[in-house]
């Protein structure tokens, strides 16, 4: 008997919304996969060890993964007005020169966008950059354990509950500089599966996206069950921000955004440079 297809994505509403139909065997002709739920810093690590067949990872981690994995042209998260935020306490001067900043990962789009922004916005140079679990960042800023924090996802809607202030929006800075959408989460699959199988997987992902849009109510229970006590209204905002036309297909603009981010990051020495055909889908 063939091994089940093993995939991983986060419990965040955009991922459970996108993958609901496929995960529940509702895509004709596509086998229901074996699903592991994990935050993106964990899936980045799983991909580095080539442990699963298909994963949601950060675009910022792609340069270390593309030897073993191919980027799928669908299922991921790109968008506008949905970038990471730099948060501080309201009394902060707003100058991060020499300050301690908490980030959720150093192999993430959020981190790359932050470092590209800081290269011009903090000419005196940052102090220490520390990695903290995502859920610890806002409390750490609030309690004065760090001077600022880089946050993603639902923190866009909840940071004021911690008494924090937005210093800068990394997405706004990126869009102002490039005019391109923000590449956040990518779907990758093992190259060893072969071109035909990779195309089948891309079709299954794309069909799952369309099924979610055709019947949003079908995934509601699944989304909220994994949303980590998130308010349903926040879950809806989350889906609206991160599931869009780029989720169905990256298209020319999506690929330009990914290549643009990684080429700029490589020029700053933040990631390895990409080969010309590194993003090509078989």
**Where residue 45 sits, what CATH number does that domain have?**
3.40.190.10
* Mean pLDDT, the chain, integer: 94
Query: Where among 178, 205, 224 does a domain terminate?
Result: 178
Where are any strands of DSSP class E within the chain? 6-9, 34-37, 54-58, 69-71, 77-79, 85-88, 101-103, 129-131, 148-151, 165-169, 182-190
By annotation, the residues acting in catalysis are 153
Q: Is residue 148 part of a domain?
A: yes
Query: Where among 178, 195, 217 does a domain terminate?
Result: 178
Q: Is residue 171 part of a domain?
A: yes
Same domain membership, residue 250 and residue 199:
yes
pLDDT digits (tens, 9 = 90+) for 151-194: 987 787 789 999 999 999 999 999 999 999 999 999 999 999 99
- What pLDDT does 229 receive? 65
Residue 58 marked ligand-binding: yes
Q: Is residue 1 part of a domain?
A: no
User: Domain count of the chain?
Assistant: 2
pTM, two decimals, is 0.90
Residue 85 token pair = 């935020």
Same domain membership, residue 162 and residue 198:
no
Residue 164 token pair = 């924090």
Same domain membership, residue 72 and residue 23:
yes
- What pLDDT does 234 receive? 83
The radius of gyration computed from the CA coordinates of the chain, to the nearest angstrom, equals: 18
Q: Grade residue 241 by pLDDT with cuts at 50, 70 and 90.
A: confident
Q: Is 75 exposed, middle or buried (0-12, 13-18, 19+ CB in 10 A)?
A: buried
Same domain membership, residue 185 and residue 174:
no
Residue 190 marked ligand-binding: no
> Cα–Cα distance between 18 and 35 in angstroms, integer?
13
pLDDT digits (tens, 9 = 90+) for 184-232: 999 999 999 999 999 999 999 999 999 999 999 999 999 999 987 678 8
Q: Grade residue 281 by pLDDT with cuts at 50, 70 and 90.
A: very high
Residue 247 marked ligand-binding: no
Query: Where among 143, 158, 178 does a domain terminate?
Result: 178
- What pLDDT does 34 receive? 97
Same domain membership, residue 201 and residue 256:
yes
Residue 57 marked ligand-binding: yes
Same domain membership, residue 185 and residue 173:
no
pLDDT at 92 > cutoff 70: yes
- Structural domain of residue 157, as residue ranges? 85-178
Residue 101 marked ligand-binding: no
Q: Is residue 279 part of a domain?
A: no
Same domain membership, residue 31 and residue 170:
no
pLDDT digits (tens, 9 = 90+) for 104-161: 888 889 999 999 999 999 999 999 999 998 889 999 999 999 999 999 877 877 899 9
Q: Is residue 282 part of a domain?
A: no
Same domain membership, residue 90 and residue 75:
no
């Amino acid at each position: 008997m063939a091994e089940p297809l093993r995939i991983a994505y986060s419990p965040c509403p955009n991922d459970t919304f996108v993958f609901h139909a496929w995960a529940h065997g509702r895509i004709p002709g596509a086998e229901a996969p074996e699903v592991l739920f994990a935050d993106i810093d964990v899936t980045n690590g799983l991909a580095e060890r080539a442990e699963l067949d298909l994963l949601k990872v950060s675009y910022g981690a792609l340069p270390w993964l593309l030897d073993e994995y191919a980027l799928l042209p669908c299922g991921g998260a790109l968008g506008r007005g949905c970038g990471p935020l730099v948060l501080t306490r309201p009394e902060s001067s707003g100058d991060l020169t020499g300050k301690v900043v908490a980030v959720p990962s150093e192999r993430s789009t959020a981190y790359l966008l932050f470092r590209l922004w800081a290269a011009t916005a903090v000419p005196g140079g940052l102090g220490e950059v520390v990695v903290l679990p995502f859920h610890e960042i806002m409390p750490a800023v609030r309690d004065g354990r760090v001077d600022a924090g880089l946050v993603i996802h639902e923190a866009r809607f909840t940071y004021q509950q911690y008494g924090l202030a937005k210093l800068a929006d990394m997405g706004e800075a990126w869009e102002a500089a490039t005019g391109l959408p923000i590449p956040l989460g990518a779907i990758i699959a093992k190259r060893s599966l072969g071109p035909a199988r990779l195309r089948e997987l891309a079709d299954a992902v794309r069909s799952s996206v369309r099924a979610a849009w055709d019947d949003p109510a079908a995934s509601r229970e699944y989304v909220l069950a994994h949303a980590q006590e998130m308010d349903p209204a926040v879950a809806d905002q989350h889906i609206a921000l991160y599931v869009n036309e780029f989720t169905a297909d990256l298209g020319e603009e999506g690929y330009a955004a990914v290549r643009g981010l990684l080429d700029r990051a490589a020029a700053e020495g933040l990631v390895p440079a990409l080969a010309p055909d590194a993003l090509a889908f078989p």
